[in-house]
Amino acid sequence: MIKRIKVFDTTLRDGEQSPGCSMNLQEKLEVALQLEKLKVDIIEAGFAIASPGDFESVREIAKNIKKSCVASLCRAEEKDIDRAYEALKYAVSPRIHTFLATSPIHMKYKLKMTEYEVLERAALSVAYAKKYCNDVEFSAEDASRSDKEFLAKVFSAVIANGATVINIPDTVGYSSPEEMAALISFLRENVHDIEKAEISVHCHNDLGLAVSNTLASIMAGATQIECTINGIGERAGNASLEELVMNLKTRKDYYNVECNIEPKYIYRSSKLIQTITGIPVAPTKSIVGDNAFAHEAGIHQHGVLVNRSTYEIMSPQDIGIPENKIVLGKHSGKHAFEDRLKELGYSLNTKELKKAFDRFKILADKKKIISDKDLDALIAMKLDPAEQYYKLENFVINSGSKITSTATVSLQAGLKRAEVVACGDGPVDASYKAINDIIEKKILLDDYSINATTEGEDALGEVIVKVSFNEHKAVGRAVSTDIIEASILAYLNGINKL
């Protein structure tokens, strides 16, 4: 009989803790809705007590998600649990996820608590959470470096107090696959009433073994896996959802395990996280990297042309990678445009569709043909929720090898219009200095990257910038066939978020 496991996605909590991956409310909601479409079983929406922003995002996600369970992380403290439930109470299926460290090093240096105190705190916190919510998960932080017998006592106590899920985290990515499998087997044999709870694992990637450790845990009896899109997360990240899912689906003959994930939305989910965080995946990244289905060697190309299974164990279509075919042009109508978006997996409301179609028409005047990747880039622009207080009116660039670059930039700022000329080290630098002069703030450019999102001489250029002002940071993004225009629009996008 094939076993079915649950997928617990923590992109919005652990993933967002990765440096540079913070998201605003609208972005988190967009990700949550995509995860629901992906058919993730549990969405960890955040750490409700961490900040007012985190609380609000957990609450809004809880209100809007109907098909997935929504969880909030909290420490093993009553005030944390109260706050978590306050945010989760609107959810159709809420889960309180509480945690406490159990390893000797954490208990001694971080908690300054004895084993008895940790055992008592863990049990009481689960009992307290249970009065709010039937579904309670308990995580033994740094479980892989904990004493196995003590860990079994803790899990026995929390299950006795109502825990429905026990989580075994490899918090610092220290374990090996054999060790994780042995730990799961030990706990299955030594935790009282273990059959009353799901056995979950949460593996970090510090030694590059997060996916391997998770798969080994499944083979040993784990029934829930915790992961993130693109493997983002603390330090070296978490187990990657797309790698785990496609391992289970591609090697179903070996693992004999199923999950609910809809793989055709994997690529779209990966691109969404890259767009929002501004952090691209490596070309050689498994499953979703640009080279994952590319073949350059002649012998490989020949084999794939004769029979794809010679060098491909999955097809690009399995994970929803669109075929880069010509589908639309400047004479295409709104109906054809909408139909193609639906085929690509997008669902836009009337207002969003109108805006996207308007952008499509503008692009179609600049490009002879519009590919699926062009459409991906266009729709990604609508994901950005920044209020456009500063709007670009026009710009003029004067640049060359023997002259100082100058930029004349005109902005609409609220009800006012302003124009400034500035010099700089290249056209982009000059443009950004002109914008800073107009808004009268010294915005810092922390990072700037440029990518061609489509092919050909009229390819769309994507610019992603990371900007900061005082302690605030934001990611700005824009696409255009004119890379200077994309640079200016991305900078303004980041400023509007700030």
Burial of 400 (0-12, 13-18, 19+ CB in 10 A): exposed
Would residue 286 count as lying in a domain?
no
Pairwise CA distance, residues 266 & 240, whole Å: 11
Pairwise CA distance, residues 439 & 434, whole Å: 9
Residues 401 and 453 in one domain: yes
Would residue 285 count as lying in a domain?
no
Would residue 332 count as lying in a domain?
yes
Residues 167 and 252 in one domain: yes
Residue 325 has pLDDT above 80, yes or no: no
Residues 248 and 341 in one domain: no
Neighbours of 299 (CB within 10 A): 10
Would residue 188 count as lying in a domain?
yes
Residue with the larger pLDDT of the pair 382 and 246: 246
Residues 375 and 397 in one domain: no
Would residue 283 count as lying in a domain?
no
Residues 146 and 175 in one domain: yes
Would residue 231 count as lying in a domain?
yes
Residues 369 and 416 in one domain: no
Pairwise CA distance, residues 219 & 214, whole Å: 9
Residues 255 and 302 in one domain: no
Neighbours of 156 (CB within 10 A): 19
Pairwise CA distance, residues 287 & 266, whole Å: 9
Residue 301 has pLDDT above 70, yes or no: no
* pLDDT tens for each residue of 97-152: 999 999 999 999 999 999 999 999 999 999 999 999 999 999 999 999 999 999 99
- Letter for the amino acid at 170? D
Give the up-direction half-sphere exposure of residue 58: CA atoms within 13 A in the CB hemisphere: 31
What are the distances in angstroms from CA 459 to CA 271, 364, 382, 452, 480?
18, 12, 19, 6, 8
What's the pLDDT at 76?
98
Sheet holding 390-400, edge to edge: 390-400, 403-413, 416-424
Residues 136 and 252 in one domain: yes
Would residue 284 count as lying in a domain?
no
Would residue 266 count as lying in a domain?
yes
Neighbours of 110 (CB within 10 A): 12
Q: Give the CATH number of the domain where residue 394 resides.
A: 3.30.160.270
Residues 336 and 267 in one domain: no
Residues 270 and 300 in one domain: no
Structural domain for 331, as ranges: 322-382
**Number of compact structural domains in the chain:** 4
* pLDDT tens for each residue of 4-29: 999 999 999 999 887 777 888 989 99
For tokens 């050909």, name the residue: 456
| Pairing relationship of beta strands 94-101 and 6-9 according to DSSP bridges | unpaired
Residues 154 and 203 in one domain: yes
* pLDDT tens for each residue of 50-81: 999 999 999 999 999 999 999 999 999 999 99
Q: Give the CATH number of the domain where residue 58 resides.
A: 3.20.20.70
* Domain endpoint, select from 277, 306, 337: 277
Q: Which residues contact 100 (CB under 8 A, 6 or more apart)?
A: 75, 76, 111, 118, 121, 122, 125, 138, 139, 140, 141
* pLDDT tens for each residue of 411-469: 998 888 999 999 999 999 999 999 999 999 999 999 999 987 766 666 788 899 999 99
Q: How much is the mean pLDDT over the chain?
A: 90
Pairwise CA distance, residues 197 & 243, whole Å: 26
Residues 208 and 335 in one domain: no
What are the distances in angstroms from CA 444 to CA 23, 233, 436, 448, 469?
19, 25, 9, 11, 6
| Pairing relationship of beta strands 461-469 and 444-452 according to DSSP bridges | antiparallel
Predicted TM-score (pTM) of this structure: 0.84
